[in-house]
Amino acid sequence: MEIQKSETPSQATGRAAMKKELPKHYQDHRHVWVFIELERGQVHPVSLELLGEGRKLADKLGVQLAGVVVGPRDGVGTGPAIADAFAYGADLAYLIESPLLVDYRNEPFTKALTDLVNCHRPEILLLGATTLGRDLAGSVATTLQTGLTADCTELDVDVDGSLAATRPTFGGSLLCTIYTLNCRPQMATVRPRVMAMPQRVAKPIGRVIRHDLMMVEEEIVTKVLGFLSDSQSEDANLAYADVVVGGGLGLGAAENLQHVKVFARTIGGEFGCSRPLVQKGWMPFDRQIGQTGKTIRPKLYVAAGISGAIQHRVGVEGADLIVAINTDRNAPIFDFAHVGVVADAIRFLPALTEALTRRLAPRDHMKLVN
């Protein structure tokens, strides 16, 4: 695997420009694959986002896009997953169904995916950088002894058809483009919401290729004893929220976060924060927005007391409308916010909440974002 400083993939210089010829036994690898992740029977939206990116790569390479669906034999979720794969641009789907694949376990999922790769030889394999995807991608890459670029923010193909996988490095202060030069498939993971959701295809059609899982339960060390849902927890669905209000260090004290939470509730949104608030223990990690937290793409993001450091910016710049409230008119957040309010957020947020509460019935909050 070779690393170079970020530049346009077609202008590769340095080590990437000196690529060796791909070993002969990898030269017949073709097509782009996306692993379709099922989360308790539901397709994870990141898989659909990846189908959009996979479609672009496949079109540039002039090859086919395939969705890979792995799940239990009784078909819970696998049928809709295949339908979604075609609806979001796949030309074909590979399907492995087995009772051993009811719950996610590393060994049978790795076996399923590596067997498919060894049989059908894709050149690119994309997975979501979810908890499941990170676990699976790492073990598939090491089993196949190929390169994996994690948490990519951009995917492209360069002039000779290699995958140019770009991701932040050195704490987000630099972007680097990583090539997998001498192995196949070229693997990459992408976090939810980093890529845009593609449009559905008008008349989806495709071919399904079935395989068996060549494994028996006795070969699997991991046993699932039960499943404890975290639905009782305060888990935020920040990544897919339409409206998000973020609080930063400018709020000054943990109790002032109440202004962020109440304002978010008033406008029908979720709340999140910058990293220092998590480090101080003012908010849980699942509320952190940014490079090492969640990437969000809401219709409206309100940032209160957040300076707009690059590590925060990369997690929010996909928002349609960014409103920043900051006392410092030179704060970096005003460089990319669409609306800037130079004000004390501790006083401004409660005043705005009160004004909106007076003017809006609760059910009318969508007027703000439509």
Ligand X SMILES: Cc1cc2nc3c(=O)[nH]c(=O)nc-3n(C[C@H](O)[C@H](O)[C@H](O)COP(=O)(O)OP(=O)(O)OC[C@H]3O[C@@H](n4cnc5c(N)ncnc54)[C@H](O)[C@@H]3O)c2cc1C
- Site of interaction with ligand X (CB under 6 A): 171-172, 248-250, 274-276, 288-293, 305-307, 309, 311-312, 315, 325-328, 331, 344-346
Using alpha carbons only, what angle is made at residue 37 by residues 175 and 45, rounded to the nearest 5 degrees? 70
- Closest separation in Å from C-beta 329 to ligand X: 9
72 vs 340, which CB is nearer to ligand X? 340
| Shortest distance, position 273 Cβ to ligand X, whole Å | 7
Task: Closer to ligand X by CB, 103 or 344: give it.
Answer: 344
Contacts for 30 with CB less than 8 Å, ≥ 6 apart: 63, 64, 121, 122, 123
> Residue 94 or 334: which CB sits closer to ligand X?
334
How far is Cα 354 from Cα 57, in angstroms, rounded to an integer? 49
Number of helices and strands (H, E) in the chain?
10, 18
Closest C-alpha among 350, 291, 297 to residue 151: 291
**Nearer to ligand X by C-beta: 159 or 254?**
254
**Least distance between ligand X and beta carbon 232 (Å):** 26
Measured CA to CA, the distance from residue 359 to residue 362 in angstroms comes to 10
Beta carbon of residue 311, minimum distance to ligand X (angstroms, whole number): 4
| Helix or strand (DSSP H, E) at 303 | strand 300-304
Least separation, in Å, of the C-beta of 330 and ligand X? Answer: 9
The nearest distance, CB 263 to ligand X, in angstroms, is 13
What's the rounded Cα separation, in Å, for the pair 332 and 343?
15
Residues annotated in a binding site for FAD: 274-275, 288-292, 305-312, 326
339: left (phi over 0), alpha (psi -120 to 50) or beta: beta
Q: Using alpha carbons, list the distances in angstroms from residue 129 to 33, 63, 310.
A: 15, 24, 21
Q: What is the side-by-side strand order in the sheet with 154-157?
A: 2-5, 174-179, 163-169, 154-157
Q: ω before 9 within 30° of 0 (cis)? A: no
Q: Which is nearer to ligand X, 188 or 257 (CB)?
A: 257
Could you tell me the smallest distance in angstroms from the CB atom of residue 176 to ligand X? Answer: 14
Helix axes 106-120, 131-144, angle to 10 degrees: 50
Binding residues: 274-275, 288-292, 305-312, 326
Looking at the Cβ atoms of 10 and 173, the one nearer to ligand X is: 173
CA 20 to chain CA mean position, Å: 31
| Nearer of residues 158 and 270 to ligand X, judged by Cβ | 270
**324: closest CA among 269, 244, 242, 266?**
244
